[in-house]
Amino acid sequence: MSKNTDVLRIAIAQLNPVLGDIKGNLAKAREARADAARQSADLILFTELFISGYPPEDLVLKRSFIDACEKAVNEFAADTADGGPGVIMGIPLKRPSGLHNAVMVLDEGRVIAERFKVDLPNYGEFDEKRVFQAGPMPGPVNFRGVRIGVPICEDIWGDLGVCETLAESGAEILCVPNGSPYYRGKVDVRYQVALRQVIETGLPLIFANQLGGQDDLIFDGASFAFNSDKNLAFQMSQFEEQLMVTTWKRGADGWSCGEGPMSRIPEGEEANYRACMLGLRDYVNKNGFKDVVLGLSGGIDSAICAALAVDALGEERLRAVMMPYAYTSKDSLKDAEDCARMLGCRYDIVPIFEPVEGFLKALGPIFAGTKEGITEENLQSRARGTILMAISNKFGSMVVTTGNKSEMSVGYATLYGDMNGGYNPIKDLYKMQVYAMSEWRNKNVPAGGLGPSGEVIPVNIISKAPSAELRENQTDQDSLPPYPVLDDILESLVENEMSVDEIVERGHDRATVERIEHLLYIAEYKRRQSAPGVKVTRKNFGRDRRYPITNRFRDR
């Protein structure tokens, strides 16, 4: 601690760990602590389960994993014998009382305290009760003469009174390690959660949040603090790694932080775009793919995914492939080529006429006497999927799949065809959100984006009627309601769990609502087989919405 015992310099480490890379995470923590030491920090606060990565899911059931985490943190504790910053480190800990989501507080070359998470979340993307044991109500940690409360993430979100208990037992500052995933508007939600605890306890609160993509979850950082007077003390950046040292002073009314940096928080389409970009970048890089490949059809979904890939990874790491058939329009051929040229990525054309005709010929005897329809259309999609997977196998490129949430909701996608792929950056975006995000990208380059400025998605792609081009003069709205209507119905059904009657009261046709509800239910088996993708809404398919495949319920 600084010589003045009424001053405490706290570093907030908003970093991007790799789940399971315990040695790498330890190295990152050591580097951050050294940086904090250079800035004369007394204490550095890491995020929830930082040493393991979050959420570790069933990895924590593996004893060797737990042992490796504790070994790493004990090594880190020895570093603190140098008199530099103490450490609050998130770790999964096995103790006689059970397996805990915990923190270790490190100082003077040793572990000076352990605290366990009390309120284990068991909703949406969280299922911690499945693997962790709830801890007892914690008391504050005496760190160099300052009593610090360390509630862990959900401990400030729930109603178990963890923060009140800490305040009643003498805590002076609340330092909260978090693993709080992104969805649109989440920063305001966190403010309200934190403010409630500040008001109830009368204590200042530091909210340190993880950064980075972990499968379908995006941790957006945006760490912050409130003083006890309910004023925002500082706001860290969103979607970017950052280490910030803050100065806290003890006065007559307790501890407070002077006016700190106030980073701008992105909103709307910018926030969604940066979340999708971060999710794709981390999925590709953390899983060791050197580059990606996608089918560039001349449509809006593949175009925005191509832009995201170039922004996330760079133009040299994207191969775009146009795979035309008899129904591919001249406009689509030109639009795809223009999009690839604007983005600067590699562009190949692989016609699928011969593969599709080969399938049709081989199946001719079996299909004889039947009427052509969706089966033949799906052969086109599956031929394209096979080509992309062949390129993936040959060159080690990950296939980016490009279906939006509107399509995935109603099953407007082909298994083993356009659903082929390793990751889908727009999986949780409805069609109208895709359009809005595309228009935003043509006017802006996202912070940290590696792509060019100016128009990167041809205006014709945005303005033309969407079509899978699987038959002559086909448009999506031959079989679906207009996307503004469809998206409102779907958001009502999926995000808000509204009844058919309630949705009809919003002005929608009952028959249309009932049909969309039916399509939503019967497409569940497809979604179970789909690639993971970025979560940007409050309720994505997979972790948040777990519906049975076999399901005869209809809201009639």
Task: Kindly give the pairing relationship between strand 292-295 and strand 217-220.
Answer: unpaired
Q: Is 109 left (phi over 0), alpha (psi -120 to 50) or beta?
A: left
Indicate the number of domains in the chain: 2
Give the H/E segment covering residue 335: helix 330-343
Assess whether 359 and 222 both reside in one domain.
no
- Identify the active-site residue in 69, 70, 117, 345: 117
Assess whether 158 and 240 both reside in one domain.
yes
User: Vertex 534, ends 530 and 539: CA angle to 5°?
Assistant: 85
Assess whether 291 and 206 both reside in one domain.
no
What are the tokens at 93?
A: 């800990």
Assess whether 219 and 278 both reside in one domain.
no
Residues 6+ apart with CB under 8 A from 237: 14, 221, 222, 263
Our answer to whether residue 345 is catalytic in this structure is no
Residue 72 lies in a domain: yes
Residue 74 lies in a domain: yes
Residue 464, phi then psi, degrees to nearest 5: -80, 160
Task: Return the pLDDT at 127.
Answer: 87
Assess whether 277 and 136 both reside in one domain.
no
Assess whether 188 and 245 both reside in one domain.
yes
Residues 6+ apart with CB under 8 A from 361: none
CA dihedral of 528, 533, 534, 540, whole degrees rounded to 10: -10
**Residue 489: other Cβ atoms inside 10 A:** 27
Residue 319 lies in a domain: yes
Task: Return the pLDDT at 328.
Answer: 86
What are the tokens at 22?
A: 């315990």
Residue 114 counted as an annotated binding residue: no
Task: Return the pLDDT at 1.
Answer: 46
- Contact 424/401 with Cβ under 8 angstroms? yes
Query: Which CATH number covers residue 115?
Result: 3.60.110.10
Query: Which CATH number covers residue 388?
Result: 3.40.50.620
**Residue 299: other Cβ atoms inside 10 A:** 22
Residue 73 lies in a domain: yes
Q: Quick one: which of 451, 449, 555, 538 has its CA closest to 501? A: 555
Task: Return the pLDDT at 538.
Answer: 87
Range of the domain at 195: 7-258
Residue 213 lies in a domain: yes
Residue 180 counted as an annotated binding residue: yes
Task: Return the pLDDT at 443.
Answer: 96
What are the tokens at 13?
A: 């480490």
- Identify the active-site residue in 69, 153, 305, 339: 153
Task: Return the pLDDT at 472.
Answer: 63
Q: Quick one: which of 32, 127, 264, 148 has its CA closest to 543? A: 127
Our answer to whether residue 153 is catalytic in this structure is yes
Residue 11 lies in a domain: yes
Assess whether 284 and 393 both reside in one domain.
yes
Single out the residue in 237, 258, 279 at which a domain terminates.
258
Compute mean pLDDT per 10 residues along the chain, 556 residues long, and list them.
76 97 98 97 98 94 96 97 97 96 97 96 86 94 96 93 95 96 94 96 97 96 96 96 96 88 93 97 97 96 97 98 91 95 97 95 94 92 96 96 94 91 96 96 96 95 74 64 94 94 95 95 93 92 85 85
- Contact 12/45 with Cβ under 8 angstroms? yes
Residue 402 counted as an annotated binding residue: yes
Assess whether 231 and 291 both reside in one domain.
no
Residue 298 counted as an annotated binding residue: yes
Assess whether 424 and 350 both reside in one domain.
yes
Residue 288 counted as an annotated binding residue: no
Rounded Cα distance between 90 and 114, Å, is: 10
Our answer to whether residue 48 is catalytic in this structure is yes
Task: Kindly give the pairing relationship between strand 141-143 and strand 146-149.
Answer: antiparallel
Residue 286 counted as an annotated binding residue: no
Q: Quick one: which of 182, 170, 138, 142 has its CA closest to 156? A: 138
Assess whether 382 and 419 both reside in one domain.
yes
Q: List residues bridging with 35 in a β-sheet.
A: none
Residue 302 counted as an annotated binding residue: yes
**Residue 472: other Cβ atoms inside 10 A:** 7
Residue 484 lies in a domain: no
Q: Quick one: which of 406, 409, 377, 375 has its CA closest to 523? A: 409
- Identify the active-site residue in 28, 48, 163, 276: 48
Assess whether 406 and 285 both reside in one domain.
yes
Assess whether 71 and 143 both reside in one domain.
yes
Q: List residues bridging with 220 in a β-sheet.
A: 211
Residue 536 lies in a domain: no
